[in-house]
C-alpha cells in the first residue's frame, strides 16, 4: 500500500496535468486502437492488492487515450461543459476531506460551503432566499426531486400523505408535458409512479416550444412541466402564458432548466429565463453551463417543506426542526458536490459567469452566418447556446457529421429534428474561445467539401 501519500498524490496531479496538456494536440474522439486496448483492464479479480501507483499508472496508460477530450473547448457534443480548473482543484481537496455531506453533524465545513453555494445560486437566479436547494447528481435527479415535491404537495393538499401511504388508492394527479419534453423528465415521472405514458402531451411549435394555446384544462391536482432550453434548439417554452394559466388553476409548475436556467446570470439573456422564475420547482445542472465536474445537478423548490417531506425518512425527521442536508436530496450519504459549485461561482464571480454564458451563446448566434455558403441550413432560430445544422438530404447530413467527427478537430453529435437528421452543436464549455470556434468552423467547411 502507499507508503507516501504525498508522492502518490503528486503522481496523480502530474498524470492529470500531463493529460490536460497533451489533449490539446489529440483528436477529440479516441482512436479504435485506444478503445480496443481497454480490454487490458479485464484482469482477473486480484487476490492480493496492487500498489496504488501501479493502479494509477494503468488507469492513465490504458484509460486516458480512450477518453473523449471534453476539457479543451473542442467538444460540442450533447450539452456538457468542461471543468473549470478551480472546480477540479476544489474537488480534489474535498475528496481528500472525505466528509459525508448528509448531515451538519458529520461535516460542518461541507455544510458551510454548500450553504453559501445554495445562497449564491438563489441570488444568481433571483429566486427567494428561503427556497430549498438540493445538490444532486444531475438534472435527471433534480427533475426527480422537484417532481417528488410537486407530487407531495398536491397530494397533501388533497388530504393524502403520499410518503406514508404510497400511490395505491391515491387521488389522481394530472401531469402535463410538451411533446418535446426531455426524456429525463419522463424517467423521473416513471420512477415517481406518475407514469411516463399517462401524461397529457401538448404539441410544440416549429422551434420546439410548448403551444400555450393548446394547454388542456389545468386544475389544483395538475403538475405542469415546462422547459427552459430545448436540448436541440435551445428554445424556451412561453413560460409567462403557461405559468399564468397554471396559477389561475392552482397547479404546480416544474421547470426543466438543465442548461437554460443559466440564462438568468447574463444581462443579455436573462429575459429568456425570467418568466420561468414564477414556477414552483426547478431542475438545473452544474456540470453543463457552470462547468463543474460530474456529477452535479441542482434542485430548487420554493416550498421548502414539500421537498423536505419528499425526502424525509420518517415524519419525525421533519419534527426535528433542523432540516439537514439529506432532507433535500434523494440520498443520505453523498459527496459534497456543492463545494465545486461554490468554487465555480467564487472564482468566476457574477461577471465571469455572465461572460461564460454570453461567450457561448454568441458563438451559437454567429454560427449560421459563419457557415453561409456551405449549403448547410439551420432549421431553427438560434436563441441560446444550441445550434443544429442540416444538409440537403439526411444522408449528406450524416456523412458530413461523420467527416467532422473523424477529423478529430472537434466533436458534436447527431439528432432528429422534426423528422429530419441534424447535427447538433452545443456551446457550453468555459474554454471554448475564438480559436476553438474557428477550428470547428473550418472542420465543418472541410467536411462539406470532402463529401
Ligand atoms: C433539457 C435537459 N433536461 C435534462 C437533462 C438531463 O441532464 P443530466 O444528464 O445531467 O441528468 C438534459 C441533458 O442534456 C437536458 O438537456
- Nearest residue (by CA) to ligand 1, atom 3, is 258
**Is 42 inside any structural domain?**
no
Among candidate residues 297, 429, 424, the one with its CA nearest the CA of residue 361: 429
pLDDT at 105 (0 to 100): 87
Grid cell at residue 106: 458529520
Q: List, for residues 129-172, the tens digit of each pLDDT value.
A: 999 999 999 999 999 999 999 999 999 999 999 999 999 999 99
Q: What is the mean pLDDT of residues 178-191?
A: 98
d(CA 103, CA 325): 5
- Nearest residue (by CA) to ligand 1, atom 16, is 231
How far is C-alpha 244 from the geometric centre of its chain's CA atoms? Answer: 27
**Is 401 inside any structural domain?**
no
The mean of the pLDDT values for the chain is: 96
Please state the domain count of the chain: 1
d(CA 421, CA 342): 39
Q: Is the confidence at residue 33, as pLDDT, over 90?
A: yes
**Is 147 inside any structural domain?**
yes
Q: Is the confidence at residue 358, as pLDDT, over 90?
A: yes
- Ligand 1 centre from 287 Cα, in Å? 10
Q: Is the confidence at residue 2, as pLDDT, over 60?
A: no
User: Model confidence at 338, in pLDDT bands (50, 70, 90)?
Assistant: very high
Query: To the nearest whole percent, how much of the chain has pLDDT over 90?
Result: 94
**Is 289 inside any structural domain?**
yes
Q: List, for residues 371-421, the tens digit of each pLDDT value.
A: 999 999 999 999 999 999 999 999 999 999 999 999 999 999 999 999 999
User: Model confidence at 322, in pLDDT bands (50, 70, 90)?
Assistant: low
- Ligand 1 centre from 140 Cα, in Å? 6
**Is 100 inside any structural domain?**
yes
Instruction: Say if residues 397 and 391 touch (Cβ distance below 8 Å).
Output: yes
Report DSSP state, residue 60.
Answer: I
Specify the ligand 1 atom closest to the Cα of 227: 1
Parent domain of 126:
89-343
Parallel/antiparallel/unpaired status of strands 200-202 and 174-178: parallel
pLDDT at 316 (0 to 100): 53
- Ligand 1 centre from 262 Cα, in Å? 13
Q: List, for residues 207-258, the tens digit of each pLDDT value.
A: 999 999 999 999 999 999 999 999 999 999 999 999 999 999 999 999 999 9
Choice from 70, 78, 140 to test ligand 1 binding pocket (greatest atom count within 8 A of CB): 140
- Ligand 1 centre from 303 Cα, in Å? 23
Q: List, for residues 271-318, the tens digit of each pLDDT value.
A: 999 999 999 999 999 999 999 999 999 999 999 999 999 998 765 555
Q: List, for residues 435-445, the tens digit of each pLDDT value.
A: 999 999 999 99
d(CA 252, CA 378): 35
Instruction: Say if residues 74 and 439 touch (Cβ distance below 8 Å).
Output: yes
Q: List, for residues 46-73, the tens digit of each pLDDT value.
A: 999 999 999 999 999 999 999 999 999 9
User: Model confidence at 325, in pLDDT bands (50, 70, 90)?
Assistant: confident
pLDDT at 1 (0 to 100): 46
**Is 380 inside any structural domain?**
no
**Is 427 inside any structural domain?**
no
**Is 12 inside any structural domain?**
no
d(CA 309, CA 301): 12
CATH of the domain at 258: 3.40.640.10
User: Which residues approach ligand 1 with their CB closer than 6 A?
Assistant: 78-79, 138-140, 182, 184, 229, 231, 256, 258-259, 285, 297
Instruction: Say if residues 138 and 297 touch (Cβ distance below 8 Å).
Output: yes
pLDDT at 141 (0 to 100): 98
Q: What is the pTM of this model?
A: 0.97
Query: To the nearest whole percent, how much of the chain has pLDDT over 70?
Result: 97
- Ligand 1 centre from 431 Cα, in Å? 21
Amino acid at each position: 500500500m502507499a507508503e507516501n501519500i504525498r508522492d502518490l498524490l503528486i503522481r496523480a496531479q502530474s498524470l492529470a496535468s500531463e493529460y490536460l496538456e497533451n489533449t490539446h494536440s489529440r483528436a477529440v474522439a479516441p482512436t479504435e486502437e485506444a478503445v480496443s486496448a481497454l480490454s487490458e483492464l479485464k484482469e482477473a479479480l486480484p487476490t492480493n492488492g496492487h500498489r496504488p501507483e501501479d493502479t494509477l499508472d494503468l488507469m492513465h496508460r490504458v484509460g486516458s487515450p480512450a477518453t473523449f477530450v471534453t476539457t479543451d473547448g473542442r467538444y460540442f457534443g450533447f450539452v456538457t461543459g468542461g471543468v473549470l480548473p478551480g472546480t477540479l482543484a476544489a474537488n480534489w481537496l474535498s475528496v481528500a476531506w472525505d466528509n459525508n455531506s448528509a448531515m451538519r453533524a458529520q461535516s460542518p465545513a461541507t455544510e458551510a460551503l454548500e450553504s453559501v453555494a445554495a445562497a449564491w445560486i438563489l441570488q444568481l437566479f433571483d429566486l427567494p432566499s428561503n427556497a430549498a436547494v438540493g445538490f444532486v447528481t444531475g438534472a435527471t435527479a433534480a427533475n426527480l426531486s422537484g417532481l417528488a415535491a410537486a407530487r407531495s404537495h398536491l397530494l397533501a393538499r388533497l388530504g393524502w400523505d403520499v410518503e406514508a401511504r404510497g400511490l395505491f388508492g391515491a387521488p389522481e394527479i394530472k401531469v402535463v408535458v410538451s411533446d418535446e419534453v426531455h426524456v429525463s423528465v419522463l424517467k423521473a415521472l416513471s420512477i415517481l409512479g406518475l407514469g411516463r405514458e399517462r401524461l397529457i402531451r401538448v404539441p410544440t411549435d416549429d422551434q420546439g416550444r410548448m403551444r400555450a394555446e393548446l394547454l388542456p384544462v389545468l386544475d389544483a391536482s395538475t403538475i405542469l412541466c415546462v422547459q427552459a432550453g430545448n436540448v436541440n434548439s435551445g428554445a424556451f417554452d412561453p413560460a409567462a402564458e403557461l405559468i399564468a394559466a397554471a396559477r389561475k388553476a392552482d397547479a404546480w409548475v416544474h421547470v426543466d432548466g438543465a442548461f437554460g436556467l443559466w440564462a438568468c446570470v447574463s444581462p443579455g439573456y436573462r429575459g429568456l429565463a425570467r418568466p420561468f422564475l414564477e414556477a414552483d420547482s426547478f431542475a438545473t445542472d452544474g456540470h453543463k453551463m457552470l462547468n463543474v465536474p460530474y456529477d452535479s445537478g441542482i434542485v430548487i423548490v420554493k416550498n421548502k417543506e414539500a421537498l423536505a417531506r419528499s425526502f424525509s425518512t420518517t415524519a419525525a425527521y421533519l419534527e426535528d426542526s433542523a432540516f439537514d442536508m439529506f432532507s433535500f436530496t434523494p440520498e443520505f450519504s453523498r459527496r459534497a458536490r456543492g463545494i465545486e459549485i461554490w468554487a465555480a461561482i467564487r472564482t468566476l464571480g457574477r461577471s465571469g459567469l455572465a461572460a461564460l454564458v454570453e461567450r457561448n451563446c454568441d458563438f451559437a448566434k454567429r454560427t449560421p452566418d459563419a457557415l453561409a455558403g456551405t449549403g448547410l441550413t439551420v432549421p431553427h432560430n438560434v436563441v441560446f447556446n444550441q445550434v443544429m445544422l442540416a444538409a440537403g438530404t439526411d444522408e449528406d447530413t450524416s456523412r458530413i457529421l461523420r467527416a467532422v467527427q473523424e477529423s478529430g478537430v472537434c466533436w458534436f453529435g447527431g439528432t432528429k429534428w422534426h423528422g429530419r437528421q441534424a447535427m447538433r452543436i452545443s456551446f457550453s464549455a468555459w474554454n471554448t474561445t475564438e480559436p476553438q470556434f474557428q477550428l470547428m468552423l473550418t472542420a465543418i467547411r472541410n467536411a462539406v467539401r470532402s463529401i
